[in-house]
Structure 1
Amino acid sequence: MKTTSLSAGTIRIGVGGWTYEPWRGSFFPADLVQKRELEYASRKLTSIEVNGTFYRSQKPETFAKWHDETPDGFVFALKAPRYATNRRVLGEAGESIERFVNSGITALKDKLGPINWQFAPTKTFDPADFSAFLKLLPASHEGHALRHAIEVRHDSFRNAEFVAMAREYGVAVVVSGDSKYPQIADLTAPFVYARIMGTSEDEPLGYGSPALDQWAERAAQWAGGECPPGLDLVASPAEIAPRDVYLYVISGFKERNPQAAMALIERLA
């Protein structure tokens, strides 16, 4: 299965990255050569969040190679560079944002998914500065519409003004699940970006069946335009509308994350 299409949005589910030694023999076949790991992973998952772009620039040729190694319908989410978000004055990030957007990301073509702008857990909500940052995020580049998600991890962002700001600019607030970080499950964009972090070594599929069922149901509800119950909202519920969903199994007991992602894909098939 390449994507899970409901009557509303499309659900894509994956993990963070694909180069991880403990996955060799547990997720990847033991005899698979390392250069074919992306090819293999992209046929078991429907999306991958690329962490490498957070730490260093990639070449256009690299993005083009990723595009060519993955099947139709597969999508990459990109972590934006830390140089844009790990700064005191966010309104001064324009040069870093422009450099990243011009680094060749559109070589992914239709496989370019949302960009995750992740902020340090110590970064607090400054309305004026955060608004200045959001103004810098381009809506498109070289004819490609860009989808932006913002991952904030300080409790000061549990603020109705922040949610309203995200809705004004049409950016998604990353939903943290099973995490120490504050959860802001308000829907603020035409898509949902969730990162769930509760996999356990004790569970062969990372999560137990009840939790897998619950996250699969939440993904289906988001895609159908609903706001799933049991999640933490800050402001009033958003307008009911179909949304694409990007859900990544991240952190937790990382060795089990591919199994959890595949189990969610199976439940939504």
Structure 2
Amino acid sequence: MSIHIGIGGWTYEPWRGTFYPPKHPQKRELEYAGQHLTGIEINGTYYGSQKPESFANWATSVPDGFRFSVKASRFCTNRKQLGEGAASVEKFLTQGLTRLGDRLGPILWQFMATKKFERDDFARFLDLLPEAQDGLPLRHALEVRHESFCDAAFVDLARERNMAIVLADSDEFPRIDEATADFRYARLQRSVETVETGYTDADLAQWATRLGDWEKEGSDTYLFFIAGAKLRNPAAAQALIARLAA
């Protein structure tokens, strides 16, 4: 069982001088993030393909035990008929992300807030997601954003395939809190700029307790501070890591 806590991406100008030390070389920002966090969600893959060499370089920039989650291409998930996206799924999975090796965590499949749950089509889509790629085991996390997914049929589909339903801590999207896989995935989106650590001590204590509960389940956990007051997200992640260490 392992817990990985981090942020979305590592390149963000307002983090320079707040998270990253002043005048820290930009080309070494990932290395610095890897020393102070235990995970990062790669978001650039949602918008376009990356080079295999980029994945390989990212893997060597972080220490043993660090994990990247990789956000799947929007061309896979933003379509009318999900079950017809085999070519897009294959293109995404074959771009070289397995060059991350043992630093590869889950693949995050995010669906638009307008995408409604249609059981048969969604099942066909999930059947397109392989258990391994290039000999490397894959884990899949599903982030849905429409209330129609608050349906036992959706939970059953995920559980049958050992795919995690993302727990979204958000004011905008449904909160589906179900154990459907041998790992957990949470995206925290309520950080505020007026709190130095994004989340209050009380809120962080609640999340630390929740992580402890998942640990007792024997679940690997991936938790990322995303959106909200993005400036504060690195501090939030570090505060939660420190709380767990204590």
Query: Shared topology, TM-score over 0.5?
Result: yes
Out of 255, 258, 261, the position equivalent to 2:237 is: 261
* Aligned mates of 1:81, 1:223 — CA distance in 2: 30
Give the match's secondary structure for 1:224. Answer: helix
* Aligned mates of 2:171, 2:212 — CA distance in 1: 21
Q: Output the TM-score relative to the length of structure 1.
A: 0.90
Out of 127, 147, 151, the position equivalent to 1:159 is: 151
How far did 1:38 drift? 0.3
How far did 1:169 drift? 1.2
Out of 2, 10, 26, the position equivalent to 2:2 is: 10
Out of 28, 34, 46, the position equivalent to 2:38 is: 46
Which amino acid in structure 1 is aligned with residue 161 of structure 2?
A: Y
Q: Provide the aligned length of Structure 1 versus Structure 2.
A: 245
RMSD: 0.7
In the alignment, structure 2 segments of 5+ residues that lack a partner are: none
**Other-structure match for 1:237:** none
* Aligned mates of 2:66, 2:100 — CA distance in 1: 10
Q: Percent identity?
A: 53
**Other-structure match for 1:102:** 94
Give the match's secondary structure for 1:117. Answer: strand
- 2:160 is the alignment partner of 1:168: yes
* Aligned mates of 1:83, 1:59 — CA distance in 2: 17
Deviations 1:38-65 (A, max 9, x none): 0000110000000000001001100000
Give the structure with the larger helix fraction. Answer: 2
**Other-structure match for 1:201:** 193
How far did 1:142 drift? 1.3
Q: Output the TM-score relative to the length of structure 2.
A: 0.98
1:236-247 to 2 correspondences below 5 Å: 242-247=218-223
How far did 1:178 drift? 3.6
**Other-structure match for 2:206:** 214
**Other-structure match for 1:130:** 122
**Other-structure match for 1:73:** 65
Deviations 1:186-232 (A, max 9, x none): 0100000000111111101111100010011111111211xxxxxxx
Contact 1:46 1:73 in 2 (8 A): yes
Contact 1:179 1:196 in 2 (8 A): no
**Other-structure match for 1:149:** 141
How far did 1:12 drift? 0.6
Give the match's secondary structure for 2:160. Answer: helix
Which amino acid in structure 2 is aligned with residue 223 of structure 1?
A: E
How far did 1:71 drift? 0.8
**Other-structure match for 1:249:** 225
- 2:165 is the alignment partner of 1:189: no
Give the match's secondary structure for 1:130. Answer: helix
Contact 1:192 1:222 in 2 (8 A): yes
* Aligned mates of 2:196, 2:214 — CA distance in 1: 27
Give the match's secondary structure for 1:214. Answer: helix
Which amino acid in structure 2 is aligned with residue 62 of structure 1?
A: S
In the alignment, structure 1 segments of 5+ residues that lack a partner are: 1-8, 226-241
How far did 1:179 drift? 3.1
1:225-244 to 2 correspondences below 5 Å: 225=217, 242-244=218-220
